[in-house]
Amino acid sequence: MGNLNYEEKEAILDFFGKLVIENVRDRDLSISMEIANGTTVNPIKKEQYKALSTLNEEQKEAVCDLLSETITSTIFNFLDMIEVNNEKMKLLVCIDGIDHDLCKISEKMGSEIAFDDEDGWIQKFSSIGRFV
């Protein structure tokens, strides 16, 4: 792992980050935004959250921003927790049969998602965007 160059480290982090953004953040945010905006086709969710149907557009946008911030913050805190406790737990990605400890590759694991420039996982991989 110590022999990886910058591009190899970035490729490993981006492999993981793309999975996190597409399969966790965007997936949950999309479902939550559909509920908040009243566009979900799920009748159970429509009934469960019918109180949201009285919100105006500005309020719906605020709820969607809050959802985005909360989901992103939860992922950040989860990654940060793993990094802080890296001696007790590892987050490994296996590439070509070799395990890579993401905390050893990243300078600051939680920040990988939160960069607000083109290097952040949200900016690179999100189909929704909505970085708050």
pLDDT band with cut points at 50, 70 and 90 for residue 111: confident
- 48 has pLDDT over 60: yes
Q: Express each pLDDT in 73-91 by its tens digit.
A: 999 999 999 999 999 999 9
- Neighbouring CB atoms inside 10 A of 43's CB total 8
Q: What does pLDDT average to over the chain?
A: 91
User: How much is the pTM?
Assistant: 0.88
Query: What pLDDT does 110 receive?
Result: 84
DSSP letters spanning the chain = -TT--HHHHHHHHHHHHHHHIIIIIHHHHHHHHHHHHT----HHHHHHTGGGGG--HHHHHHHHHHHHHHHHHHHHHHHHHHHHTTTT---EEEETTEEEEHHHH-SSTTHHHH-SSTTSHHHHH-SS----
Query: What pLDDT does 107 receive?
Result: 86
- 33 has pLDDT over 90: yes
Query: What pLDDT does 131 receive?
Result: 61
Q: Express each pLDDT in 2-25 by its tens digit.
A: 589 999 999 999 999 999 999 999
pLDDT band with cut points at 50, 70 and 90 for residue 34: very high
